[in-house]
């Protein structure tokens, strides 16, 4: 439930919970759902589906994994860790007590920097006051089109030291207010049936970040595979990350 990662903006993943379901258009071609289906067919007990194992279903069963909570303690070298690449920590089926325990582990392992990402921003804002927000805990929300910009407002209500946005898959132009935000990740969708990203949407995001002096990370153009279109935007790699973190993401 913890491993090195091919995701360009992190070094490792840690999944104290697995399972999720779709709540907005960015979930339509969920990579975690596809991967969970393959892992289930390979015999993994961490992934549960109701009825058919087809990955076109609405989601896969939420599970909290007690045995995963100790993993970060065993990593002595500090890592940049994406929390719950196969789930959403603020899913309504994750008990608040378990969220607190996950945050407790993160607070207790300051050698690591944790990147927590959610689409359930309303619940995040509701429970943020009950969580220990140490400096090594970054909090982000996913925003795929202009309808979901409100998630950034919920994020701003949290006391996270680093607050970031993930505009991936980017499905439309975004007019963003970056006040109080520290990082923007953007990228196109990948996988079968991937919806194309418009270069002008990405340029607008990049330019908003430049104007606001907010680091901008362009992850991918996407396509059939994540790396199909490369990572260059107007002939340049954009791999900026918040200050104070080593430049490992090039």
For residue 121, the SS3 value is helix
Rounded to an integer, what distance in angstroms lies between the CA atom of residue 80 and that of residue 143? 22
For residue 190, the SS3 value is strand
Average pLDDT over residues 194-213: 98
Count Cβ atoms within 10 A of the Cβ of residue 160 and give its class: 0-12 exposed, 13-18 middle, 19 or more buried. buried
Average pLDDT over residues 204-220: 98
Give the whole-number percent of the chain exceeding pLDDT 90: 80
pLDDT, one tens digit per residue, over 121-140 is: 999 999 999 999 999 999 99
Residue 121 near residue 144, CB atoms below 8 Å: no
Rounded to an integer, what distance in angstroms lies between the CA atom of residue 35 and that of residue 32? 5
Per the omega criterion (within 30 degrees of 0), is the bond before 198 cis? no
Pairing of the two strands 17-21 and 59-64: antiparallel
Residue 238 has pLDDT above 70, yes or no: yes
Residue 183 has pLDDT above 80, yes or no: yes
Q: What is the model's pLDDT at position 55?
A: 39
Residue 209 has pLDDT above 70, yes or no: yes
Q: What is the model's pLDDT at position 67?
A: 96
Pairing of the two strands 80-83 and 216-220: unpaired
Helix, strand, coil percentages (3-state) for the chain, rounded to 5, are 25, 25, 50
Q: What is the model's pLDDT at position 78?
A: 96
Residue 246 has pLDDT above 60, yes or no: no
Average pLDDT over residues 144-149: 98
What band does 38 get if pLDDT is binned at 50, 70 and 90?
low
Average pLDDT over residues 20-44: 75
Residue 1 has pLDDT above 90, yes or no: no
Q: What is the model's pLDDT at position 165?
A: 98
Q: What is the model's pLDDT at position 214?
A: 98
What band does 26 get if pLDDT is binned at 50, 70 and 90?
very high
Rounded to an integer, what distance in angstroms lies between the CA atom of residue 64 and that of residue 77? 25
Residue 73 near residue 79, CB atoms below 8 Å: no
**For residues 109 and 2, which has the higher predicted lDDT (pLDDT)?**
109
Residue 2 has pLDDT above 70, yes or no: no
> What is residue 45's DSSP assignment?
T
DSSP 231-242: SEETTEE-B---
**For residues 21 and 166, which has the higher predicted lDDT (pLDDT)?**
166
For residue 33, the SS3 value is helix
Q: What is the model's pLDDT at position 102?
A: 98
Rounded to an integer, what distance in angstroms lies between the CA atom of residue 20 and that of residue 119? 11
């Amino acid at each position: 439930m913890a491993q090195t990662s091919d995701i360009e903006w992190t070094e490792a993943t840690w999944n104290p919970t697995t399972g999720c379901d779709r709540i907005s258009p960015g979930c339509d071609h969920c990579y975690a759902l596809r991967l969970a289906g393959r892992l289930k067919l390979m015999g993994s007990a961490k992934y549960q589906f109701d009825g058919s194992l087809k990955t076109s279903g609405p989601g896969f069963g939420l599970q909290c994994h007690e045995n995963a909570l100790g993993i970060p303690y065993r990593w002595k070298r500090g890592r940049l860790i994406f929390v719950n690449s196969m789930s959403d920590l603020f899913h309504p089926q994750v008990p608040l007590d378990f969220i607190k325990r996950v945050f407790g582990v993160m607070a207790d392992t300051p050698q690591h920097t944790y990147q927590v990402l959610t689409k359930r921003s309303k619940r995040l804002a509701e429970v943020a006051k009950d969580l220990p927000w140490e400096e090594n805990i970054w909090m982000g929300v996913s925003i795929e089109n202009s309808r979901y910009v409100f998630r950034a407002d919920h994020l701003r209500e949290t006391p996270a030291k680093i607050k970031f946005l993930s505009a991936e898959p980017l499905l439309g132009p975004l007019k963003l207010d970056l006040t109080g935000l520290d990082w923007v990740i953007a990228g196109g969708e990948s996988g079968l049936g991937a919806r194309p990203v418009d270069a002008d949407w990405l340029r607008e995001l990049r330019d908003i970040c430049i104007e606001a002096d907010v680091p901008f990370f362009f992850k991918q153009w996407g396509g059939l595979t994540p790396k199909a279109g490369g990572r260059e935007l107007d002939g340049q790699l954009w791999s900026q990350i918040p200050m104070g973190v080593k430049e490992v993401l090039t």
